[in-house]
């Protein structure tokens, strides 16, 4: 009975993740330890938290060429 409820909760969290990652996390955190859905819920929570973290954009560095190397004319 508890496993079935946990699976349903995980499905609800996964569906909610399409709209609100934070709400999906809140739902998945209610899945009790020891149930069949617990490990997958923890994996999803980590993934969703990673997606919520802002990404730092670093532009690609421009190639460095030394005078006289690769510039033969």
In a domain? residue 68: no
The mean pLDDT value of the chain amounts to: 90
Q: What is the pLDDT of residue 68?
A: 63
Mean pLDDT on 13-29: 97
Residue 72 has pLDDT above 60, yes or no: no
Q: What is the span of the domain harbouring residue 36?
A: 2-52
- Domain count of the fold of the chain: 1
Examine residue 69 and state whether it is found in any structural domain, yes or no.
no
Is 65 domain-assigned? Answer: no
**Residue 7 within a domain:** yes
Residue of higher predicted confidence among 61 and 38: 38
CA dist 17 and 50 (Å) reads 13
**How sure is the predictor about 64, in pLDDT bands with cuts at 50, 70 and 90?**
confident
Output the pTM of the full model: 0.72
Q: Are 65 and 71 in contact (CB under 8 A)?
A: yes
Rounded to whole angstroms, how far apart are CA atoms 68 and 37? 63
Predicted local distance difference test score (pLDDT) of residue 19: 97
């Amino acid at each position: 009975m508890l496993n079935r409820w946990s699976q349903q909760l995980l499905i609800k969290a996964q569906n909610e993740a399409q709209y609100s990652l934070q709400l999906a996390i809140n739902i998945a955190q209610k899945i009790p330890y020891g149930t069949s859905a617990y490990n997958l819920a923890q994996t999803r929570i980590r993934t969703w938290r990673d997606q919520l973290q802002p990404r730092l954009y670093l532009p690609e560095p421009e190639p460095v060429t030394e005078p006289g190397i690769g510039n033969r004319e």
